[in-house]
Structure 1
Amino acid sequence: MNHWDKFLAPYKQAVEELKIKLKGMRGQFELDSSHSPIEFVTGRVKPIASILDKASQKGIALDQLEEMQDIAGLRMMCQFVDDIHTVVNLLRNRNDFEIVEERDYISHKKTSGYRSYHVVIRYPVQTIHGEKKILAEIQIRTLAMNFWATIEHSLNYKYKGMFPADIHMRLKRAAEAAFRLDEEMSLIRGEIQEAQAFFTRKKELKQEEKN
Structure 2
Amino acid sequence: MTASHWTESEWRAKLAPFHQAVEELKIKFKGIKQEYDEMGIHSPIEFVMGRVKPVRSIIQKAARKNIPVEDSIDRMKDIAGIRIMCQFVDDIYAVVQLIKQRNDLNILGEKDYVREQKESGYRSYHFVIEYPIQTVSGPKNILVEIQIRTLSMNFWATIEHSLNYKYGGEIPTPIQKRLQRSAEAAFLLDEEMSKIKDEIQEAQKVFAKRSEKNK
Note whether the superposition's TM-score is higher than 0.5: yes
Number of residue pairs the alignment of both structures matches: 207
Deviation at 1:54, TM superposition (A): 1.1
The equivalent of 1:157 in structure 2 is: 165
Q: Which residue of the partner structure matches residue 76 of structure 2? A: 68
Map 1:34-183; keep pairs closer than 5 Å.
34-65=41-72, 66-183=74-191
> How far is 1:5 from its partner?
1.1
For 2:11, the aligned partner's letter is W
Cα drift, residue 102 of structure 1: 0.5
- 1:204 deviation in Å? 2.2
* Code of the aligned partner of 1:181: L
Q: Please, what TM-score do these two structures have when normalized by structure 2?
A: 0.94
What is the distance in 1 between the residues matched to 2:206 and 2:195?
19
What amino acid does structure 2 have at the position aligned with 1:53? Answer: Q
Give the deviation of 1:206 after TM superposition: 2.9
User: How much does 1:27 deviate?
Assistant: 0.3
Does residue 192 of the first structure (1) align with residue 200 of the second (2)?
yes
Match of residue 29 from structure 1:
36
Q: Report the Cα distance in structure 2 between the residues aligned to 1:144 and 1:22, rounded to whole angstroms.
A: 20
Superposition deviation, residue 2 in structure 1 = 2.3
TM-score (norm 1): 0.96
- 4+ residue runs of structure 1 moved beyond 4 angstroms? none
Task: State the one-letter code of the partner of 1:61.
Answer: P
**Structure 1 residue 128, shift from structure 2 partner:** 0.6
Matched residues in 2 for 1:17 and 1:204: separation? 29
**What SS class does the counterpart of residue 126 from structure 2 fall into?**
strand
Aligned residues with identical type, % of pairs: 59
Q: How much does 1:93 deviate?
A: 0.7
Q: CA RMSD in A?
A: 0.9
Gaps of 5+ in 2: 1-7
